[in-house]
Amino acid sequence: ADAAALRALALAYLALGHAARARAGASGDGLLPALGDALAVLAQDGSSDSLPVRAAAAQGFRALLVACASQEDGGEGPAGVVMETAVPILVALLSDGPAEARKPAALAAKTAAKLFPALTAGAHLAALVPPLLKVVKDPNLQTKLLSERALMHVLQIHTRPDTLSEFVAGAAAEDARFVRDYARRVLARLKADLSDEEED
């Protein structure tokens, strides 16, 4: 897929998020019924043989999470459904994808952790942290910095110190040592209050 096609695909995914939000508001039935078609498309693209298409799918998952957060009740129920589909795909991109795939995956993980910290630090903590620990060593500086902020939010460094302790308690020894040290040296020094515009 060429760059123009991928940009068009990313814009289409953003439109999916806006459309889902609009349909939910118009119907009064909540966001869950409106997510079905979008999640089906993203799940298929997220398992594509084309890495650029999988990377674009990460942008789509992020758009849906933003749509969930716009709901009057906070959207945690629909967000949980989105994350069940999204997290395995994001983990695969963070673990195996090239830089152009790792960056949107880290951004989606950061958005999930900022908007839905309880969901991210609960069922998905053990899945998201190890690949983010790998990507904070990325030679691409922009990807590295974004991954650091994603890890800061996933581990709730500034808001809930117990999250780091809970991850360390269940982590492999090497990951536990690294994340404790990295949290102290790097993550704790990151500003917690940057806007999305400044971070992205």
CATH of the domain at 136: 1.25.10
Number of domains in the chain: 1
Dihedral angle of Cα 117, 9, 130, 151, to the nearest 10 degrees: -40
Spatial separation of the C-alpha atoms in residues 63 and 126, rounded to whole Å: 23
Q: Which domain holds residue 109?
A: 3-189
User: What is the value of pTM for the model shown?
Assistant: 0.83
Residue 197 included in any domain: no
What pLDDT digit, counting tens, does each position of 73-123 carry?
777 888 898 899 999 999 999 998 777 889 999 999 999 999 999 999 888
For 16-68, the pLDDT digits (tens) are 556 555 555 544 455 566 677 778 888 888 888 888 888 888 888 898 888 78
Within a domain: residue 149?
yes
In a domain, residue 195? The reply is no
Residue 198, domain member (yes or no): no
**What's the rounded Cα separation, in Å, for the pair 45 and 38?**
11
